[in-house]
Structure 1
Amino acid sequence: MKRIGILLAFVSALAFAGGDQLVVAYQGGAVTLDPHLRNETTTLSWQHHIFETPFFYDREGKVVPVLATSIENTDPNTWILKVRRGVKFHDGTPMTAEDVAYSILRAATHPKSQMKAYVGKVVSARALDEVTVEIKTKVPDPLLPAHLDHAAVIPKAYMEKVGEEGFQKHPIGTGPYKFVDWLNADHLTLERFEDYWGPKPDFAKVVLKNIPQGATRVAGLLSGEIDIAEKVLPQDFARVERSGRATVKQTPGVRIIYVAMDYWREYGSEGLPEGAKNPFLDPAARKAVYMAIDEEAIVKKIMGGAATVAQQFLAPVHEGYSSKIKRFPYDPEGARKILEDLGYGDKDGDGWLELPTKDGKRVPFELRIDAPNDRYLNDAQIAQAMASMLRKIGIKAEVNAVPKKVFFPNMTKGHFTLYIAGWGSMDSINTMLSMFHSKDPEGLYGRFNRQRYHNPEVDALIEKAASTFDPTERDALLQQAMEIAMVQDVAYIPLHYENVIAGVAKGIDFSPRPDEYLHAFEAKKQ
């Protein structure tokens, strides 16, 4: 009996990568299947198979209607949205304007919603009839249609019947696939929704796998157990191409890999020696670190060319990208001189720069670089390279690279002095409100501004842009804010924009999206 069970498991595994079933391997998994509680790319990618939104960005960065058919701005704070007819939820019940209104308001007001950065300006959403929703905002939001791409529609009656815990166990949406089972640390199994309103996906069954290690994903791809592998590492490109079983597909991406520094604590910054003064309150010290980083070398040697050197935080395709902003030059000697001129010179002659302490002493300039080791392409290796570059200018840098489930909560709690992370969004307003605007008590602004960057002039420009309907004027305001933040304040150090990379098995037609969402329903049989 035991041998039969093993044989069946083996046959099942072989079936994963063939026939009518598609297996997709991600670097992570979904943290939750409640579509309003987590704004993170992998979680959203998994959820998009089950849930849809009124509008969504297409591959070219254009906002297109999905569960809505149109939206009209009747006054600066009021929008009238028309709901698509003939859409069903996975339990067979029809989607109505009541469901859409309920979902938008839940995304905007749920205490744990991470979608407030997008729809937090919404103060009311109500159904006027079966296909019409009236949405009111507390201040004008000219990009509300785009922001509704983070307001997934769920069935109001079902949620009220089973509650949030029951919904997590068996989520229901309108998407091309419906839920079968979920083990959040391992996989999500889905089956095609035959009553789906849109084009039917090619594959009847889909398994989304959480495989953190890049080598393991590639091994599965080359063995035939995996059909699409996310984030093939540059060092594995040649191996995949030589295999004859799969190929590497790349698309230029919009995700910026950046460096952030403690912007608020004069003493007690957790990545410095105890009692040492935090030098990074001064933009000149932040500029010195910027100038010590040889980003061209990182892109060439660590990324294998699978990235583009970044000039600023926003990518060239984004509204608000300023052609006036250029990288500070790589100049390690100049970087060290800046720090010496700021008073951090090597007084004892041991080769290391020094930091003053609260009690008047001096200690070596030791710096912990925090980074994830399982979130971005070669993230830990980038941190190690940066530490080596900083050591060359006299900063005694060491790396603390940990799994993302440890890294992000620690960064949110402020357990850092300097960290490396990434940010990817097609929405410039959301990027500026989330990453550059000062934090506010309601959590509407500065949600991911973990370093607590603060400039009232930048705040005012962002807020004005966020309520400006004219796209030319809005773009100019965002460019001005970006120029102040990146050049004058050195709010972040931009490193590079990652390419979006996937390994794709022979017989499957699939290309990655610039926004990094990986959707099994976009894969086609050849």
Structure 2
Amino acid sequence: MLAIGGEPEQGFDPLLGWGQYGNPLFQSTLLSRGKDLAPQPELATAWRLSEDRLTWTLTLREDARFADGTPLSADDVAYTFNAAAQAGGRADLSALAEATALDTHTVSLRLKAPRITFIDQLLTLGIVPRAERDNGYSDQYGRHPLGSGPYQLVEWQEGEQLIVERNPYFYGPTPVFERLVFLFTGEDATLSAAHAGQVDIASVPPALAANVPAHMQRVIMESVDNRGILFPCRRLMANTPPPAHPLATT
């Protein structure tokens, strides 16, 4: 049982941003990162970028299946990228012109203009089943996710807990844990549950890290955290002097 926070408000929908800052859990991505952060095969076994840097062509593995046992194909990948580009979620697919299934296991991603950072979406966008198939994507997908990742959803009690189990059709190494229970608790409640022996792993902020339960050990995890600030701008008319600096004094 894990108390690590992170319940997504919009559910587990990659088209709306689920998994953009980590592994999508229920879904698979086209590529993954190795320990040196270099791209590694995942759903895609081979990939190349055209000389004009406008077209990615990827070959998919043939043993990938969704958690309901149905095969994952290039049609699902093309649908995912085209739909995510229209969804307006966290995935930045503004450079995508069109995704096309060339055959069952080959997909083409054509860009409007070269963008070297587009490879990030191959590493983070979880693939969903196309809407036209059984158990396909719908506006309720975030509450009932179906993917080809290592785990499948068993139960989600919003605001309380999430229960997942191994996906029996997962193409990769068998996950170490057969079943995981995530508790969605605040910082104080998480620490109380840890002291009561109700959780196996608890995520706490540095300010509470000194209060370690006797039966648990503290593990410091290295991570990367990014913050950005956007400032509003206004267009100035010709011959209009710029406004005074907000910190200027007279």
TM-score between both structures, scaled by the size of structure 1? 0.42
- Separation of aligned partners in 1, 2:39 and 2:232: 35
What is the Cα deviation at residue 86 of structure 1? 0.4
Q: Does structure 1 residue 33 correspond to structure 2 residue 7?
A: no
The 5 A counterparts of 1:12-411 are 23-31=1-9, 32-38=11-17, 48-74=24-50, 75-110=52-87, 112-115=88-91, 117=92, 119-157=93-131, 164-212=138-186, 214-230=187-203, 232-240=204-212, 243-257=213-227, 260=229, 263-264=232-233, 282=245, 285=247, 342-343=248-249
Check the 8 A contact 2:148/2:169 in 1, yes or no.
no
Distance of aligned partners of 1:61 and 1:113 in 2 relative to their CA distance in 1, 3 Å threshold:
same
Moved over 6 A (4+): none
> Residue 170 of structure 1 aligns to which amino acid in structure 2?
H
- Separation of aligned partners in 1, 2:18 and 2:26: 16
Distance of aligned partners of 1:94 and 1:234 in 2 relative to their CA distance in 1, 3 Å threshold:
same
What is the Cα deviation at residue 211 of structure 1? 1.1
In the other structure, the counterpart of 1:513 is: none
In the other structure, the counterpart of 1:327 is: none
Distance of aligned partners of 1:227 and 1:60 in 2 relative to their CA distance in 1, 3 Å threshold:
farther
Distance of aligned partners of 1:343 and 1:208 in 2 relative to their CA distance in 1, 3 Å threshold:
same
> Residue 51 of structure 1 aligns to which amino acid in structure 2?
Q
Q: Secondary structure at the match of 2:77?
A: helix
Distance of aligned partners of 1:281 and 1:137 in 2 relative to their CA distance in 1, 3 Å threshold:
farther
- Separation of aligned partners in 2, 1:201 and 1:248: 24
What is the Cα deviation at residue 30 of structure 1? 1.5
TM-superposition CA deviations, 1:124-157 (whole Å, max 9, x none): 1111111111110000122333322232111115
Check the 8 A contact 1:27/1:210 in 2, yes or no.
yes
Check the 8 A contact 1:100/1:154 in 2, yes or no.
yes
- Separation of aligned partners in 2, 1:248 and 1:160: 45
- Separation of aligned partners in 2, 1:235 and 1:107: 38
- Separation of aligned partners in 1, 2:230 and 2:44: 41
- Separation of aligned partners in 1, 2:135 and 2:197: 42
- Separation of aligned partners in 2, 1:57 and 1:257: 22
Percent identical among aligned pairs is: 27
What is the Cα deviation at residue 59 of structure 1? 4.9
Check the 8 A contact 1:103/1:154 in 2, yes or no.
yes
In the other structure, the counterpart of 1:480 is: none
Check the 8 A contact 1:29/1:186 in 2, yes or no.
no
> Residue 65 of structure 1 aligns to which amino acid in structure 2?
P
Distance of aligned partners of 1:159 and 1:35 in 2 relative to their CA distance in 1, 3 Å threshold:
farther
Check the 8 A contact 2:129/2:137 in 1, yes or no.
no
Q: How many residues align?
A: 240
- Separation of aligned partners in 2, 1:161 and 1:193: 16
TM-score between both structures, scaled by the size of structure 2? 0.84
Question: Rg bigger for which structure?
Answer: 1
- Separation of aligned partners in 2, 1:105 and 1:149: 16
Distance of aligned partners of 1:251 and 1:168 in 2 relative to their CA distance in 1, 3 Å threshold:
closer
Q: Secondary structure at the match of 2:116?
A: coil
What is the Cα deviation at residue 281 of structure 1? 6.9
Higher helix share: 1
In the other structure, the counterpart of 2:237 is: none
With a CA cutoff of 8 Å and minimum separation of 6, indicate the structure with the bigger relative contact order: 2
The unaligned stretches of length 5 or more in structure 2 are: 235-242
- Separation of aligned partners in 1, 2:244 and 2:33: 37
The unaligned stretches of length 5 or more in structure 1 are: 1-22, 266-279, 286-341, 345-526
- Separation of aligned partners in 2, 1:165 and 1:262: 33
